[in-house]
Amino acid sequence: MTVEEAELDSARESERDENDQRGCSWKGHAHAGSVLRVSERVKTAERDVLDTRDVGRSVSVHMENHVYDFSAGAELGRELLGGKGAGLAEMTAIGIPVPAGFTVTTAACIEYVQNGRKLPPGLEEEIAAHLKGLEETAGKRFGDAQDPLLVSVRSGAAVSMPGMMDTILNLGLNDESVEGLARATGNERFAWDAYRRLVQMYGNVVDGVDAHAFEQALAALKESRRVHDDVDLRADDLRELVERFKEIYRDGTGSDFPQDPRVQLERAVRAVFDSWETPRAQVYRRANGIPDDLGTAVNVVQMVFGNKGEDSGTGVAFTRNPSTGEQGIWGEFLTNAQGEDVVAGIRTPLPITEMKDRLPEAFEQLVDTMRRLEERYREMQDIEFTVEEGKLYLLQTRSGKRTAQAALKIAVDMVEEGLISREEAVARIDPKQLDQLLHPMIDPEAHYEAAAKGLNASPGAATGKVVLDADTAEERGKAGEDVILVRWETNPDDIHGLLEARGILTAQGGMTSHAAVVARGMGKPCVAGCEGLSIDLEGRKISLDGREVAEDEVITIDGGTGEVIVGEVELVPPQINEDFQRLLGWADDARRLKVRANADTPQDAVKAREFGAEGIGLCRTEHMFMAEDRLPIVRAMIMASGEDERRETLEKLLPYQQEDFEGIFEAMAGLPVTIRLLDPPLHEFLPPLAEAESPEMARRIRALREANPMLGTRGCRLGLLYPEIYEMQVRAIVRAAAAVEGRTGAAPLVEIMHPLVAFGEELHRLRELTVRTAAEVAEVDYLCGTMIELPRACVRADEIAEHADFFSFGTNDLTQTTLGFSRDDAEGKFLTHYLDERILNENPFETLDLSGVGDLMQIAVERARSVKPDIKLGICGEHGGDPASVAFCHDLGLDYVSCSPYRVPLARLAAAQATLKEAGVGEVQVGG
């Protein structure tokens, strides 16, 4: 392999960049929930990973040039060229038929934004020089009145941002050259169709003219001509439409449509740069953790035309089914069309297999090219193509976006096919994507009647109230309501509503429409192209095959079947399939970090074990106290007049505790179980003062009231004030362990954890209580440790470790006490503002604050192991199920993470990927 080939091969796992909006041949086929790791600066966002050589090379050339031809830029990498530009350059280098063109780099965009929307010095001259080269390659002149060179101007960031930025097609036409184009091609209709598309896209993208004004004019013309589709309009009709579009442009801007092609090009480049800063792009970046300082490249590409007649067309194809992962070409296409016709729902696309009959030679070439690309990249490819008068051109290839089900099947199948290793298969699955397989589905036993049916665009099922606009979906979704966003078709401006909706239902659009692609990325169910759906926005209601449903009424959608049901239908958790189990088995072989579950009942423990948990990292005993048959006893204990009465009441509670512990120990036979003794303040078990059952209870409620209970009489402080409570719990634990060992012959692996310890002396005394009480009951093996959830406990971990067999980081409370945030108040008040304004990049209650909480954890680990090298260390906050936090725990050298049962599979995969990364076994690339 040559050096050049090796450099090209290094990009093979890179995902092709974002689909473009409106006039783009390809709107988004990308998942919304992905991560990019470009360098330390470019953190988690799309898990597209750039080759480190590309990053270094890109940085080294940033200041030399701002523009590169496709024929010369394959080795420069996507951070500089963007995903689309890098892909076009590489395809050019390996002989794939792509249109000629050049890329204006992301560095130029960054400089443009930083310099107050001023183009970098010399950029216009560089563009002009490369445009001249493009003219020589094409044998045509930009702006020529007789046979003009036309170009598209397309965005292309390093991170896929489907539909969030802008594109313009057919650039270079004007009133004079459109006539020349008609003569040169002998196709007057094609020329005027291209011109009307340019005026519409340019007007909307560059000058902000309302897109609906253009659409309404087109709809009115079709109605007056009594035709259904755009292709039924004649050349004279389109000539008339161009004049109407220019009037709309003039009304919207106060000036005529620009006739100088070079002015068009300069303003179009600016518009694409500006689209990086649009509200929708900023919302998308915030939602996906994409840095703001990456910028977008601009690709200037020679136009190839799918709208020249029935021997031309355009489409989207995948080398495997992006919904199921099944082998075989999959996609949609249209003859006599440009790309936006496929994705915008203007015309109903045809299955890609029909292309074999309509354009047989181009189809065979497409199939062969797709095979070559998949073998080269060793990944399922998403292809965007145009056929011009029988000749195939590829506009983009990238690792295709897919559902979690498809991602698993593709990874497993490619291992069996010998394309990738097991380690690579594990490395390229996004742990968060596995959530899709754990989402509810309609109960197979449920009886219901579908009111309408559309395309099964994204799997899973959801029930919620109908809402008809994205703003309402966002508002009510954030308020905790389950809503289904119902639209004619979504567009990128709906992103804020899509994020909050439980599911999406659209009347138009196909399997590659914006709604379908974004829903698949978010793991949300979507039914698209539902022909029986009509929407009455004024009346705030919809109709499903004639059945009216008002906004706020409940519907259920099944993204796996395409069915739409009026009313609520019972949903059940999905089953984990064989591909899921096999890949997680490979992950288990690779990882070092153990994965436990937080489980409070025997039922939770059983579910945790089903998901592969290797023990229980947190069993919260207070949850057992809240059961209906136990709460009265707990309240009587709290109301007791003294220790003797308290002990008497606790004896009644002990059998319940013992019964629960026995069930958990049996469910986790052979695996460790960490039981946290009572943590919350006692007032939480009493009713509000207004609901006090007696004057005595009211007095007790007042006596227990604290100004800040989170930092008050709770955790180990309860055990020291009322040792009889912890003594009862220890007796119940030891009795349960002895009983289970007696029945099964296997001794449970018991870990008794004292919460909220800040001082070594606290744990010293509570350890003595534990040892003394256990010895009075039975001889069983157990560990005694504490939950580390206070900053002082971290910095004095050495003194606490002297009395501990294990530490478990309670990162929920450790985050609160470190940041000074009350979680409920922060998330309900200012935290959203902090995230929107980028004061914080991530919610610290979802992903660990590495520079604050993470530093404290590192201090605790180092100091604890300085006095007790073999101390067991884990984490039991919800961060234990967050992939980025799991990776940090691996790097920190913890022994295990613990999370909710349904997040155990995610943690298993994330732990394996952390090990693989450390070993240098590939970089993580997720589902396209």
Beta bridge mates, 466: 484
Strand, coil or helix: 303: coil
**How far is Cα 653 from Cα 843, in angstroms, rounded to an integer?**
39
pLDDT at position 343, please? 62
Our CA angle for 259, 209, 115, nearest 5°, is 80
Active site residues: 514, 876
906 phi and psi, to 5 degrees?
Answer: -60, -45
Half-sphere exposure of 736 (CA within 13 A, CB side): 31
Dump pLDDT digits (tens) for 868-884. 999 999 999 879 989 99
Residue 321 and residue 7 in contact, taking contact as beta carbons nearer than 8 Å: no
**How many other CB atoms are there within 10 angstroms of residue 252's CB atom?**
16
Question: Which residues touch 775 (CB under 8 Å, ≥6 apart)?
Answer: none
Say if pTM beats, i.e. exceeds, 0.85.
no
Beta bridge mates, 298: 104, 155
pLDDT at position 366, please? 95
Question: Which residues touch 706 (CB under 8 Å, ≥6 apart)?
Answer: 681, 683, 712, 713
**How many other CB atoms are there within 10 angstroms of residue 266's CB atom?**
17
Q: Nearest Cα to 272, choosing from 172, 157, 440, 428? A: 157
- What are the start-end ranges of the E strands in 98-146? 101-104, 141-142
Q: Nearest Cα to 786, choosing from 797, 771, 773? A: 797
Q: 3-class secondary structure for 555-609? A: EEEECCCCEEEECCCCEECCCCCHHHHHHHHHHHHHCCCEEEEECCCHHHHHHHH
pLDDT at position 494, please? 84
With 0-12 CB in 10 A as exposed, 13-18 as middle and 19+ as buried, what is 713? Answer: middle
**How many other CB atoms are there within 10 angstroms of residue 575's CB atom?**
8
**How many other CB atoms are there within 10 angstroms of residue 696's CB atom?**
11
DSSP 120: P
pLDDT at position 405, please? 83
Flag residues of the chain having pLDDT under 70. Answer: 1-64, 339-346, 435-436, 492, 511-512, 521, 575, 827-828, 922-928
**How far is Cα 309 from Cα 231, in angstroms, rounded to an integer?**
9
Q: Nearest Cα to 135, choosing from 261, 266, 313, 257? A: 261
pLDDT at position 455, please? 85
Residue 638 and residue 718 in contact, taking contact as beta carbons nearer than 8 Å: no
308 phi and psi, to 5 degrees?
Answer: -90, 0
Residue 769 and residue 723 in contact, taking contact as beta carbons nearer than 8 Å: yes
Give the dihedral of Cα atoms 195, 196, 199, 203; nearest 10 deg.
Answer: -160
Strands 503-506, 526-528: pairing kind = parallel
Dump pLDDT digits (tens) for 543-587. 999 999 999 999 999 998 899 999 999 987 776 789 999 999 999
Tally of residues, the chain? 928
